[in-house]
Structure 1
Amino acid sequence: MQHAQKKTWPGRAVIRRALGAMAQTALVLLVVSVVSFMFLKLSPGDPVAIMLGSDFSRESYDKLYHELGLDRPLPAQYAQWLGRFVQGDWGSSYVSKQDIFEQAVLQALPVTLTLAACSLLIALLVGIPLGVLAAVRRNSWVDLAASAVAIGGNAFPSFYLGVVLIWVFSVSLGWFPSMGYVSPWSDFGTGLWHLALPALTLGAWYVGLIATVTRSSLLEVLEQPYMAAARARGEPEWRVILVHGMRNVLMPLVTVIGLQLGGMLRGAVMTEVVFTLPGLGMMITNAVQTREYLVVQAGIMMTALLFIAVNFTVDQTYSILDPRLRKHGR
């Protein structure tokens, strides 16, 4: 007698994956917090001396040192910081006297995300058409020009390109501001005007990368039998390339973009410093100079969380682009 196969509730797999992702995220954040906390404590510099200034007594130094808990063992300091951090009590900056959670999450993070989004948009709008043209017009002057743009974009470090753009378009021509930030969410036109050069600086390298990946992937796809079959059915060439071809290019393209978005966040640090944008990169840089360990730690944790969020988003995008992954329960 055959036993009926036991049915599994479909939502169980979803819950299991969600719990696994949450556990993995917590573990990664825990490791990042421990390593960064220990390195910050071992770094040179005395935050108490910076807080008190150049003229202070030994009594005032010892008192503040004790109030900050710096006389306690490092594991005890870490446990105290972690307990407050997970409760949303990130402390206050002793330079700006501002709540660190408000400074990092409500003020700095939107600037960095807006800069990264504008940079990625520029890279996609320029890099994908450039790669498609280079693949369709292979070995022509269009292909050579696209390759030159791609190599040029990869050749310039972001900090150097930023200085060059400031010199040409801000100092010499006066077309764009060289520093400062206006949120596009409050004033769209002025905000984009201020973000034009920083976004171009950060997105230039990714234009070359996306164009190169699009070209190489599309060249491989164009040689597949189903492309010839689409042409044999009488479909126009633009539809063959954009619908049938680009559908299969999206998977490797999303993979590369996802892997490099972390690099974009790192590049945003230098770009924000060059253009004095009040994002996470500028916040961490200023905090390192003034030995504000709590601010640096908050910035590091926010950056790690962004990395995890990007990887999770890319993983979910695979299921959208390829239905077979949903079928197999990825």
Structure 2
Amino acid sequence: MFQAVSAKLAQTLLVLLIVSAASFTFLKLAPGDPVSIMLGSDYSKTSYDQLTHELGLDQPVVFQYGHWLANFVRGDWGISYITNQDIFELAVMQALPVTLTLAALSLLIALLIGIPTGVLAALYRNSWIDVLATTLAIGGNAFPSFYLGIILIWVFGVDLGWFPVLGFVAPWEDFWQGLWHLALPAVTLGAWYVGLIARITRSSLLEVLGQPYILAAKARGEPGWRVVWVHGMRNVLMPLVTVIGLQLGGMLRGAVMTEVVFALPGLGMMVTTAVLNREYIVVQAGIMLTGLLFVAVNLAVDQTYQFLDPRLRRR
């Protein structure tokens, strides 16, 4: 057990190291000069060279990366050139909770709609319910998040006035106001995953319902809901968790456009603003946080398997 955990941690550290080195190198090749941004439009060559030396930007990229990595591990992520804020506080304390809240609410909506839709489609295979559920699933996959967000803003925000179209209220400060402000962004981000979860649930449940243990449960006279939701869904959870774990990265990617459309102060908005301002040190922080989230989700999925499948549990 200890060796398996150690191997996972070693792989995790190696992945993060590769991600940090690759992203740092590519950002150095990107256009834009942070020194020019910090000095403004009017500066002398002497002041430019002096600030470049103070920031260590005149050193080789390898030394710059080593210096950045040592500071990053210690929690010193630097200072934003534009806002003059500590980047660790900006990314972890301010932007990350917004993105995690949006992703969690979007995933909850996708599960609450996608799983029952997939179950109904499987139970009423080739009926009008199955056709309707499949149509909704394909439709949810077909709409890009930014386009769906604009439509929702136009219909439910502008025309009907049911929901706010801009701004963010933290649910941990005002729960109901927070949910009200996050309703449209969460639906926008979760719509694609409703279709994905519904399709995976349908196909997996159809396969499970033909297994001998399901037929035996029916022969024992167990209620239909128990056959489906206890015996059937127990074995559907494994592929469902796998797909959700693999696609959570896509949800974080989709959160970028969603946060931009709805002006939410999350990681997506932070990275987008930093790219536009050529503030690549902030972009690097956003990339590393995203990588950490990817790794954390994969580790959580691996541990979840042991609870879903007793055969994987170590005694």
Aligned-partner SS, 2:48: helix
Does residue 1:24 correspond to 2:11, yes or no?
yes
Does residue 1:165 correspond to 2:122, yes or no?
no
Counterpart position of 2:50: 63
Does residue 1:47 correspond to 2:34, yes or no?
yes
Separation in 2 of the partners of 1:221 and 1:323? 17
Aligned-partner SS, 1:111: helix
Counterpart position of 1:121: 108
Question: Match for 1:151: what amino acid?
Answer: I
Per the TM alignment, residue 18 of structure 1 is displaced from its structure 2 partner at its CA by 2.1
* The one of 72, 91, 94 aligned to 1:85: 72
Separation in 1 of the partners of 2:184 and 2:301? 27
Counterpart position of 2:261: 274
Structure with bigger gyration radius: 1
Superposed CA offset, 1:267-319 (max 9, x none)? 11111111111111111111111121211111110000000000000111100
* The one of 36, 41, 51 aligned to 2:23: 36
Separation in 2 of the partners of 1:303 and 1:312? 14
Per the TM alignment, residue 62 of structure 1 is displaced from its structure 2 partner at its CA by 1.6
Separation in 2 of the partners of 1:85 and 1:254? 32
Per the TM alignment, residue 56 of structure 1 is displaced from its structure 2 partner at its CA by 1.8
Aligned-partner SS, 1:96: coil
Question: Match for 2:251: what amino acid?
Answer: M
Counterpart position of 2:180: 193
Identical counterparts, % of pairs = 74
Separation in 2 of the partners of 1:305 and 1:253? 22
Separation in 2 of the partners of 1:256 and 1:30? 26
* The one of 232, 242, 263 aligned to 2:219: 232
Separation in 2 of the partners of 1:18 and 1:251? 21
Does residue 1:263 correspond to 2:255, yes or no?
no
Per the TM alignment, residue 212 of structure 1 is displaced from its structure 2 partner at its CA by 0.4
Separation in 2 of the partners of 1:22 and 1:256? 22
Counterpart position of 2:302: 315
Separation in 2 of the partners of 1:161 and 1:54? 40
Higher mean displacement: 240-249 or 201-210: 240-249
Counterpart position of 1:10: none
Counterpart position of 2:61: 74
Separation in 1 of the partners of 2:246 and 2:294? 10
Output the TM-score relative to the length of structure 1: 0.94
Separation in 2 of the partners of 1:88 and 1:256? 33
Aligned-partner SS, 1:93: coil
Separation in 2 of the partners of 1:17 and 1:162? 43
Task: Structure 2: state its 5+ residue gaps.
Answer: none
Q: CA RMSD for the aligned pairs?
A: 1.0
4+ residue segments displaced more than 4 Å = none
Does residue 1:132 correspond to 2:119, yes or no?
yes
Task: Structure 1: state its 5+ residue gaps.
Answer: 1-12
Output the TM-score relative to the length of structure 2: 0.98
* The one of 209, 213, 236 aligned to 2:196: 209
Separation in 2 of the partners of 1:93 and 1:302? 16
